[in-house]
Structure 1
Amino acid sequence: MAPSYLSLENMPKLNLVDTSRPKGGETEKITINLGPIDLGQIDLLVEEGFYSTRTDLIRTAIRNQLAVHAQVVTETVTRRAMVLGLQHFSRRDLEAAQAANEQFDVHVLGLASIAADVSPELAVATIASVVVLGAFHASPAVKAALKGRIR
């Protein structure tokens, strides 16, 4: 029997957690380039006590912009049938899909993670495609095996 691609309604039971704010080690580092005048203004606001650090100002600015566009994000996540937050795939989750001879698409806005004990063969047998806007955590071997399926 050929694998069937599952809709969200038919997807095997997975461990899903919707998180709006990352906890301690759940952040990703980004690098931005700023001109000296922008950087100087940021430093001035920090020095004057408006923000505790440069990072505090940048996080606040990003959150404010995300709040401005929250409706668009919500509508797009719904339209694309994406998981918002964290979606973790354990070896047990993927083995259940394999036993049912099923594959599914991973569509996440946030963090998608595949357990470290998942073999590349199991991932290839059960995951048809991966679209993650945010961060995708998996072993290097699993990422390499899914390379042609990650968009």
Structure 2
Amino acid sequence: MPSTSALSRSTAKSPESEKITINMGFVDLGHIDLLVAEGFYSNRTDFIRTAIRTHLATHAEVLRQAVTRKMLVLGLQRFSAADLEAVHAAGEKLQIRVLGLAVIDPNVSPALAIAAIDSVTVLGALHASPAVKAALAGRIR
């Protein structure tokens, strides 16, 4: 079965980030606000992004090994109707493995998605129509 690396990457514009929500204790939040007020960070978001990047850098080698071991495509991977039709016409099915953003174009029908995609593993975000996500629900890991 082909992996996602067999498909070409699209240069179409996609979102650069995904919004997340976290709950924090009041004291931790106060500490962040104090660091912002003291000029260490421009705002709460700057602090949180910096903290996350620092923590990820601490584990960079473990992450690199895991990406390699799990055969994940890093970054953005877009799947067009033409890509999926070609896979289906070849009698194959995709095993999508992405660390970052996987996009299944809005014009992909649920039937085509089912016919061309065997499994979906996305560490990050999956953007697809609600109908395609519902059709692939049993194949998303």
Q: Per the shorter chain, which TM-score range? A: over 0.9
Q: Percent identity among equivalent residues?
A: 62
Match of 1:90 among 74, 80, 90: 80
- Residue 6 of structure 1 corresponds to which residue in structure 2? 2
SS in 1 for 2:93: strand
Following superposition of structure 1 onto structure 2, how do residues 25-36 of structure 1 map, counting pairs within 5 Å?
25-36=15-26
Asked if the contact 1:46/1:53 (under 8 Å) is kept, the reply is yes
- Residue 131 of structure 2 corresponds to which residue in structure 1? 141
Match of 2:30 among 40, 45, 52: 40
CA offsets, 1:51-82, max 9 Å, x none? 00000000000000011111111100100111
Q: TM-score, normalised by structure 1?
A: 0.86
**Partners of 1:121 and 1:133 in 2: how far apart?**
24
Q: TM-score, normalised by structure 2?
A: 0.92
Instruction: Supply the RMSD in Å over aligned alpha carbons.
Output: 1.8
How far does residue 16 in structure 1 lie from its aligned partner after superposition?
5.9
CA offsets, 1:90-140, max 9 Å, x none? 111111111111101000111001001111111100000000010000001
**Partners of 1:8 and 1:104 in 2: how far apart?**
7
Moved over 2 A (4+): 6-9, 23-26
**Partners of 1:34 and 1:8 in 2: how far apart?**
37
How far does residue 25 in structure 1 lie from its aligned partner after superposition?
3.5
